[in-house]
Amino acid sequence: MHATLPLLQATEFPQLRRRQLTTLQVNLGYRCNQTCLHCHVNAGPNRTEMMDSTTMTLIPSVLTARDITTLDLTGGAPELHEGFRQLVREARTLGVKVIDRCNLTILFEPGQEDLAEFLTEQQVEIVASLPCYSLANVDKQRGEGVFDKSIAALQKLNALGYGKEGSGLTLNLVYNPQGAVLPPDQIKLEADYKRELFDHFGIVFNQLFAIANMPIQRFGSTLISKGKFNDYMRLLKENFAAANLANVMCRNLVSVDWQGYLYDCDFNQQLGLDLPHASAMAQLREGRPHLRSLLREDIDGRAIRVADHCYGCTAGQGSSCGGAL
């Protein structure tokens, strides 16, 4: 059974509209050196979908045309795209902040030996996934040996100045729960992370982002296979907090898939829920919204496409690409 099917039904989730577009989040492709249980894009070493050079060249033009201040690069492992470094350079030349959604172990892949130095040189903000500060929990979720490599990567980044006060090099970590539960309090968990990582490994970092697991793709399929999908959806809905609606990421962000098509968020991208057109006439005229569309028109004020999985961003303390809301 496909995990996305239950989410495409009518939803009672509140309607939302966009504010000013400030962040372009681009998925450069699904190839990754890891295969994580919580991955909502089904990324892995055998995936071949990667953005082509023609689509890639549109990104700097869109950043300029829409006066976008942040380029958020994700995947898979975005660093595995052969055009990753050139895109980072072009965005930084434009004065745009670049975020690299990094899995840490990529720093030790063949051909990536100087990646940490490159990110330092370009002052790229790193958002690194580390689902726990214990070896057993990380390796269970991400694969054997991942914890030790992640710790070594963090130590290398620290040695270059990342996460250290006054360096200007931001290193944020991401926590995902081990299963079908909501993340704990982000502030308290961040304190635990900072204490444990420093005491045991001498590691420092800026912030911890606690992000709820979304009931789609690989994690959604796991829930279905274990008979826990409906229970998890009930948990999300019962913990809906309307106050979180003001800060959900889809208000100021647009998500771009590896083919250049547009979505309100990364999760809608994985469900094939395209960014809504301004009108039915525009849909007939243009087809699916694409990066090229942003060269001609802005999307401020448009309706946001919602479904039941949106409860994952608004449950409890709320969560987005930047952690608790």
User: Is the whole-model pTM more than 0.75?
Assistant: yes
The distance between the two most distant Cα atoms of the chain, rounded to a whole number of Å, is 60
DSSP single-letter state for residue 204: -
> What does the domain layout of the chain look like in residue ranges?
5-314
- Domain covering 5-314: architecture: Alpha-Beta Barrel (3.20)
Closest CA to 318 of 217, 209, 216: 209
pLDDT of residue 92: 98
The pLDDT value recorded for residue 138 is: 64
Note down pLDDT in tens along the chain; length 325 residues. Answer: 344 445 455 689 999 999 999 999 999 999 887 665 555 566 677 888 999 999 999 999 999 999 999 999 998 899 999 999 999 999 999 999 999 999 999 999 999 999 999 999 999 999 998 877 867 666 565 566 788 999 999 999 999 999 999 999 999 999 988 889 999 999 999 999 999 999 999 999 999 999 999 888 778 888 999 999 999 999 999 999 999 999 999 999 999 999 999 999 999 998 999 999 876 556 656 789 999 999 988 899 999 999 999 999 999 999 988 899 8
Burial of 37 (0-12, 13-18, 19+ CB in 10 A): middle
Give the C-alpha separation, 87 to 103, whole Å.
Answer: 19
Contact 58, 258 (CB under 8 A): no
